[in-house]
Amino acid sequence: MGALVAAMSVLVPASAFGNAALHEHQDALSDLDVRAGSVAPTAAQRDAAEALGGVTLRWNRFGTPQSLVRHGGYLARNVQGANAVAAGRAWLAANKALFGLDSTAGLELHADSPLAGGAGHAVHFRQTFGGLRAAPEGLVTVAMKRVANGWDVTYVSSSIARESGLVGSPQLSPEQAWIKAADAVGVHKSIVNIKESGKAAGWDTMKVAGLPHAQRAKLVAFPTLRSGVIPAYEAIVLSDTGDLHASKTLIDARNGTVLARQDLEDNLVEVDQQAKATAADAPQVQVIPFAGTLPPNDGGCGPLHGPYTVGAGVRALDVFANAVHPLQDIVLRLYKGAVLLAEADTFFTPERIYYAPSGGVPPGNDYFVQVCEYADGGPPVEPRDYTGTFTIDDTAAPAPYTARWKVFPRSAPINVLPMDPWNNPSTDTRQTFCWAAAASGCDFVVGNLASRGPWDHDFRLNAPTNTTIGNNAKTAESWTHDFLPSPFQHRPVSAVRDYSYPWTNDWFNRDANPNNFVPNVGYDVSASVVNLFVAHNRMHDWAYFLGFTERNWNAQDINFGETEVRQEGDPIVGDAQAGGISGARDNANMITLPDGLPSITNMYFWQPFRASFYPPSVDGDYDMSVIGHEYAHMIENRMIGKGSNRSGHHAG
């Protein structure tokens, strides 16, 4: 199928985005921008450019530098600054006339992106007007590297506008603006349909009747070419109806006019539900608290706490005690009947015993715990109270591996014949990816610092999810909708974190006959979901080491303190076998949402269509070339758009 995709990429644009300024009266499915044409730089700006000498400069449509470089040299040498941000701001202040700015006070730091594996930085500043951030453009990037005496500036790009003030003030609410945006893409709602409003990650959020996903809007500044800067709302509409399934629209906050619109969905061919492991598969522990008071004499013991009943099949007992006074020196003891099984005396409080004998804990109803004061020749300190817990751990013993997934490293076996019946082999050539090395059963060890923990680990709970949910990706079957997560949302569950499921090449062997959409079973769905989940994690880790990190707007649930909280909570949502029942075929796409909102990608079944297109009947969830292509759309959008979607050719 990889060859098929390569051939199709010649025929079909990979991205829905383009250079041209589109006009309001064009087709509703097209991107739109009411700003036609461009404005020229002023004489003062041209003089400032001439003064730089020997540079290659291109102007953007706002009449400010789009691209600035001195081939074979630097734009500036030894720019002073305590760090890259300070140096970037200093260079911009020294060259503000070039950009048509009176000052750089309206440029706020958007991000500092250290380049992977070197001394380079790309520092991004966001333009603001009257306290509102410019959109959809408004970025300027200064690229530089650290040298002995300061910073050498290598390249500058921008999509900012010249100095201007806001024209008018907002008259619409975020909800009214979203209604206008939704109406413009064929989703017809009214204010009464908005059931709940809130705020999250800098956006006004709304729950709208009939739409399963949160809707969003925020107030921004929209630079025009000749009419100043307009207060506007940037609205995101996610819908399973209408002309666009995922769109970003700019609405004039003064009167509701549509100013710009962007389709957020990238197709190969032109938020979510989280399923945790079932309670039956979750670790089973019983925690029993206890409390007591030490006697006043030296070396005295508190009461026996218990008896505690331990059933068959218990792997370990975990006993913990902590005195109220931090300098209390206690001794913790565990008994079965009158027999002392274990004792803990490390230093001052607290103390802990983890009792896990080979073969498991013997069952019985006569386990006791006792807390004593260490006999040091003096009485215990006051207060003499303590608390503790007796934990019965009957979880299964850990597997000899951390987590493992059985997947196709590149693709399922490809066709033997160049035409129908294709003869795609059903030989299972998958290999086992293990997070950590194990004694046997691992073809690849994939653990690395880009993910910081196994792909199925929930860092918020500090526990495995036991399914295809992790910090980088959330993946599930999505049979009943072409573009958005939908029932049945099957995710295979493994209490032992072994995600090895049967693959029979079912879709091919049935010749794309849609007669096996049996929930949780049909068309090798578990193997398909696992393969897509692993592919997205592989792309995350590979791109991370190339610089697509938390600070550079990647997709993660937790950013480990590297960014503001608003930039978290956006692991990529993967829809496996998307639209299988609804009939979606022969495509793949990526709906890139701004940093902090989870992007959605869909993989489809492929099959022949009479008198038009004759591919083999395969499942796109197994083709790494297709999955990587779509993931790259999110990378390009977020990195070029500096956390949002790119617009125009360069986007700063």
| Amino acid code (one letter) for 341 | L
The C-alpha atoms of residue 49 and residue 96 are separated, in whole angstroms, by 11
> In this structure, what is the dihedral angle of CA atoms 249, 253, 259, 260, given to the nearest 10 degrees?
-20
User: Residues spanned by CATH 3.30.310 within the chain?
Assistant: 43-158
**CA proximity to 310, closest of 388, 392, 389, 368:** 392
Q: 499-553: per-residue pLDDT in tens?
A: 999 999 999 999 999 999 999 999 999 999 999 999 999 999 999 999 999 999 9
SS3 state at 281: coil
Does residue 302 contact residue 294 with C-beta atoms inside 8 Å? yes
What lies within 8 Å, CB to CB, of 559 at 6+ separation is: 550, 567, 568
Other C-beta atoms lying within 10 Å of the C-beta of residue 169: 9
Instruction: Give the H/E segment covering residue 89.
Output: helix 84-94
Segment-wise mean pLDDT, segments of 10 residues, the chain, 652 residues: 37 28 38 91 96 94 95 96 96 97 95 84 94 93 95 96 93 96 93 91 91 90 95 91 80 96 75 36 76 95 96 94 93 97 92 94 97 94 94 82 94 93 96 92 95 96 94 96 89 94 97 93 97 98 96 96 93 97 94 93 94 92 97 94 72 42
User: Residues spanned by CATH 2.60.120.380 within the chain?
Assistant: 285-393
User: Considering only the top CATH level, what class is 285-393?
Assistant: mainly beta
Q: Which CATH architecture has domain 404-412+431-640?
A: Roll (3.10)
First and final CA of the chain: distance in angstroms? Answer: 36
- What's the topology of domain 43-158? TATA-Binding Protein (3.30.310)
Q: What share of the chain is helix, strand, coil (3-state, %, to 5)?
A: 15, 30, 55
SS3 state at 204: strand
Q: What angle do the packed helices 525-544 and 624-640 form, to 10 degrees?
A: 40
Using CA atoms, how far residue 106 sits from 174, 265, 506, in Å, is: 24, 32, 59
CA pseudo-torsion sign 574, 576, 579, 583: positive
Does residue 451 contact residue 444 with C-beta atoms inside 8 Å? no
**CA proximity to 234, closest of 209, 212, 214, 261:** 261
Tokens of 534: 């692993």
Alpha helices (runs of H) in 497-650, residue ranges in sequence order? 506-509, 525-544, 624-640
Tokens of 294: 């030490």
Residue given tokens 């508190």 in the structure block: 302
Instruction: Note the pLDDT of residue 269.
Output: 61
| Amino acid code (one letter) for 48 | A
Strand partners, 600: 573, 591
Instruction: Note the pLDDT of residue 559.
Output: 96
The C-alpha atoms of residue 434 and residue 444 are separated, in whole angstroms, by 6
**CA proximity to 565, closest of 573, 557, 575, 554:** 557
The C-alpha atoms of residue 53 and residue 652 are separated, in whole angstroms, by 22
Pairing of strands 65-69, 56-59: antiparallel
Strands (E), 253-409: 258-263, 265-267, 285-293, 305-310, 316-323, 330-336, 339-344, 351-355, 364-373, 385-393, 404-407
Does residue 352 contact residue 308 with C-beta atoms inside 8 Å? no
Instruction: Note the pLDDT of residue 273.
Output: 33
Tokens of 450: 């880009």
Does residue 150 contact residue 80 with C-beta atoms inside 8 Å? yes
User: Residues spanned by CATH 3.10.170.10 within the chain?
Assistant: 404-412+431-640
DSSP state of 278: P
Tokens of 629: 């292509």
**CA proximity to 456, closest of 516, 407, 417, 496:** 496
Cis peptide before 519 (omega within 30 of 0): no
The C-alpha atoms of residue 269 and residue 276 are separated, in whole angstroms, by 33
**CA proximity to 576, closest of 635, 622, 514, 617:** 622
Tokens of 560: 């480990």
Does residue 201 contact residue 116 with C-beta atoms inside 8 Å? no
Does residue 475 contact residue 599 with C-beta atoms inside 8 Å? no
Does residue 522 contact residue 507 with C-beta atoms inside 8 Å? no
The C-alpha atoms of residue 552 and residue 24 are separated, in whole angstroms, by 33
| Amino acid code (one letter) for 435 | W
Residue 233: Cβ-neighbour burial (10 angstroms; 0-12, 13-18, 19+): buried
Does residue 97 contact residue 44 with C-beta atoms inside 8 Å? yes
| Amino acid code (one letter) for 148 | A
**pTM > 0.85:** no
Alpha helices (runs of H) in 500-641, residue ranges in sequence order? 506-509, 525-544, 624-640
Does residue 132 contact residue 117 with C-beta atoms inside 8 Å? no
DSSP state of 393: E
